[in-house]
Amino acid sequence: MFQIVLISSLIINVITLIILFAFYQSQKRVLDVSPFIRNIHKLRGMTAKKEEKILREAVEKSKSTVDATLTELEGVESLSEEAKHDLQKQTQELVQQIISKDSEVFQNIIKDITEAYKIELQNLNNLQKEEYSKLFSSSKALLEIEIANLSQEVARISTEGKAKVEAELSAYKQKVKTDLDQRVFSVLSDVAKETIGQSIDINKHEELVMKALQKAKNERFI
Amino acid sequence: MDTSVFKEFTTNINTVDKLNELLTDASEAETTSFASSAKHLSASIKGKVSKKFEEIIRNLEARNELPKSPEDRSKFFEGLKEYLQKLPRISLELAFNPTEKFVNKISNFLKEGSDSTPILDIQVKPNILAGTTIEKDGVFKDYSYTTRLDQILKQKYSQRTNENV
> Please, what is the average pLDDT of chain B?
88
Q: Is the pLDDT of residue A122 over 50?
A: yes
Contact A184 B157 (CB under 8 A): yes
Give the pLDDT score at A68: 57
The one-letter amino acid at A84: K
Residue extents of the structural domains in chain B: 4-85, 89-164
Which tens digits make up the pLDDT trace of A170-185? 887 788 777 776 776 6
Q: Is the pLDDT of residue A91 over 60?
A: no
Q: Is the pLDDT of residue B100 over 80?
A: yes
**Mean pLDDT within B106-120:** 88
Measure B86 CA to nearest chain A CA, in Å: 17
Give the pLDDT score at A143: 75
Q: Is the pLDDT of residue A147 over 50?
A: yes
Residue B8, CB half-sphere, CA atoms under 13 Å: how many? 15
Cβ atoms of A143 and A43 within 8 Å: the answer is no
Q: Is the pLDDT of residue A9 over 70?
A: no
> How large a percentage of chain A has pLDDT more than 70?
41
Which of A38-47, A106-115, A128-137 tops mean pLDDT? Answer: A128-137
Residue extents of the structural domains in chain A: 2-172
Contact A209 B94 (CB under 8 A): yes
Give the pLDDT score at B114: 79
The pLDDT-based confidence of A86 (bands split at 50, 70, 90) is low
Give the pLDDT score at A2: 47
Contact A185 B127 (CB under 8 A): no
Mutate to test the interface with A, among B112, B136, B153, B158 (most CBs of A within 10 A): B153
- Per-residue DSSP letter, B15: B
Q: Angle CA(A165)–CA(A170)–CA(A173) in degrees, nearest 5?
A: 120
**Mean pLDDT within A9-28:** 59
The one-letter amino acid at B14: N
Contact A215 B143 (CB under 8 A): yes
Give the pLDDT score at B14: 92
What's the complex ipTM? 0.85
- This model's pTM is above 0.80: no
Buried/exposed B139-152: b ≥16 CB within 10 Å, e otherwise: eebbbbbbeebbee
Cβ atoms of A193 and B149 within 8 Å: the answer is yes
Contact B130 A188 (CB under 8 A): no
End-to-end CA gap in chain B: 71
Q: Which among B95, B139, B150 is the nearest to A205, CB-wise?
A: B95
Read off φ and ψ for residue B121, nearest 5 degrees. -105, 95
| Alpha helices (H) along chain A | 2-30, 34-74, 81-199, 202-218
The pLDDT-based confidence of B150 (bands split at 50, 70, 90) is confident
The pLDDT-based confidence of A23 (bands split at 50, 70, 90) is low
Which tens digits make up the pLDDT trace of B52-87? 999 999 999 999 998 888 888 888 999 999 999 999
